Structure 1
Amino acid sequence: MTKNKYLFPFIMITSLFFMWGFVHNLDPILIPHLKRSFSLSTLEASLVDSAVFIAYFVMALPAGFIMKKYGYKTGIILGLALFAIGSFLFIPAANTQAYVFFLGALFIIACGLTILETAANPYASLLGPPETATFRLNFAQSFNGLAAMTAPIIGAKIILIEGISDADLNKMTASAREFALASEASSVKTPYLVLGSIILVIAIIFVFLKLPEIVETEEAGDKATDHTLVDALKHKHLRWAALAQFFYVGAQVCVFSFFILYATKVAEISQQEAAGYAGIGMGLAFLIGRVLGTFLMKFIKAERLLAIYSVASMVLCIAAIVSHGTVALFAVIGIAFFMSIMFPTIFSLGIKDLGKDTKFGSSLIIMSIVGGAVLPPVMGYITDLSDIQVGYIVPFLCFAVVFLFGITGHKVVKRA
Structure 2
Amino acid sequence: MENISDNKKDRNSKLPIVPKQYRVHFIMLISCFVLWGLLNNMTDNLVPAFGRIFMLEAANASMTQVAFYGSYAVLALPAAILIKKYSYRTGVLVGLGLYIIGAMGYIPAAMLQNFNLFLLSVFVLAGGLSILETTCNPYVISLGDEETSVRRLNLAQAFNPIGSLSGIILAKYLILSHLNPATYEDRIAMSPEALSQIRSNELLWVCVPYVGLVIIAIVIWMFFKRSKDSEKDMSGDLNILDSIKKLIKIPRYAFGVIAQFFYVGVQISVWTWTIQYVMTTVGLNEADAAQYYLIAIVLFIACRWICTALMKYIEPALMMAVFAVGGILASLGTIYLPTSQSVWCLVTISACMSLMFPTIYGIALKDLGEEVKVGAAGLIMAILGGAVITPIMGRFIDNGILSSMTPMFNGAEAAVRSSFLIPIICFSIVLIYSLCFRSKKSV
Query: TM-score under structure 1 normalisation?
Result: 0.93
Deviation at 1:175, TM superposition (A): 4.6
Q: Which residue of 1 aligns with 2:385?
A: 371
**Cα distance, 1:170 vs structure 2:** 5.5
1:321 aligns with 2:335: yes
In the TM superposition, what whole-angstrom CA distance separates every residue of 1:79-109 from its partner, at most 9, and x where no partner exists?
0100111111111111111111111111111
* TM-fit CA distance, 1:206: 1.1
Partner of 1:190: 208
Please name the residue that 1:84 is paired with.
100
1:234 deviates by: 2.0
Instruction: Spell out the pairing of 1:60-79 with structure 2 (5 A cutoff).
Output: 60-79=76-95
Question: 8 Å contact 2:315–2:440 — kept in the other structure?
Answer: no
The correspondence for 1:4, drawn from 8, 15, 20, is: 20
1:275 and 2:275 correspond = no
Determine the structure 2 residue equivalent to 1:249: 264
Q: Distance in 2 between matches of 1:263 and 1:213?
A: 47
Secondary structure in 2 aligned to 1:213? coil
**Cα deviations across residues 146-200 of structure 1 (Å, max 9, x unaligned)?**
1122211121111111524327546533553344234323321211110122212
Equivalents in 1 of 2:418, 2:72: separation in Å? 28
- Which residues in structure 2 correspond to 1:6-405 (within 5 Å)? 6-160=22-176, 161-166=178-183, 168-169=186-187, 171-215=189-233, 228-279=243-294, 281-386=295-400, 387-405=415-433
Unaligned ranges ≥5, structure 1: none
- 2:170–2:209 Cα contact (<8 Å) kept: no
Please state how far the C-alpha of 1:214 moved relative to its aligned partner.
Answer: 4.9
Task: Choose 152-161 or 205-214, whichever is displaced more.
Answer: 205-214
Structure 2 residue matching 1:26: 3-state secondary structure:
helix
Q: How many residues align?
A: 407
**Which runs of 5 or more structure 2 residues have no equivalent in the other structure?**
1-15, 401-414
d(CA) in 1 for partners of 2:334 and 2:212?
36
Offset at 1:24?
0.3
Return the offset for 1:247.
Answer: 0.3
| Cα distance change on mapping 1:284 and 1:413 into 2, 3 Å | closer
Question: Structure 1 214/34 Cα, relative in aligned 2: closer, same or farther at 3 Å?
Answer: farther
Shift of 1:324: 3.9
Would you say the 8 A contact 1:75–1:115 is kept in 2?
yes
Q: Following TM superposition, by how much is the alpha carbon of 1:49 offset from its aligned partner in structure 2, in angstroms?
A: 0.8
CA contact (8 A) 1:266 1:324 kept: no
Q: RMSD of the alignment, in Å?
A: 2.2
Q: Distance in 1 between matches of 2:385 and 2:189?
A: 41
Equivalent residues of 2:99, 2:126 under 8 A apart: yes
TM-score (norm 2): 0.87
Residue identity matched to 1:187: W
Matching residue's letter, 1:43: A
Tell me the amino acid that sits aligned with residue 182 of structure 2. S
Distance 1:239 1:76 in 2: 26
Mapped contact 2:95–2:127 kept (Cα < 8 A) = yes
One-letter amino acid matched to 2:266: A
CA distance in 1 between partners of 2:227 and 2:272 (Å): 35
Runs of 4+ in structure 1 over 4 Å off: 409-414
Asked if structure 2 preserves the Cα contact closer than 8 Å seen for 1:244 and 1:346, the reply is yes
Separation in structure 2 between the aligned mates of residue 211 and residue 5 of structure 1, nearest angstrom? 12
* Distance in structure 2 (CA, Å) of the matches to 1:253 and 1:410: 25
Higher relative contact order (CA 8 A, sep 6+): 1
Deviation of 1:411 after TM superposition, in Å, equals 6.8
CA displacement, residues 299-351 of structure 1 (integer Å, 9 cap, x when unaligned): 21011111110010011011111134332221111110110110000000000
Q: Percent identity?
A: 33
Kept in 2, the 8 Å contact 1:241–1:410? The answer is no
Distance 1:228 1:143 in 2: 31
CA offset digits 1:101-149 (Å, max 9, x no partner): 1111111111111111111101112211111111111111111111122
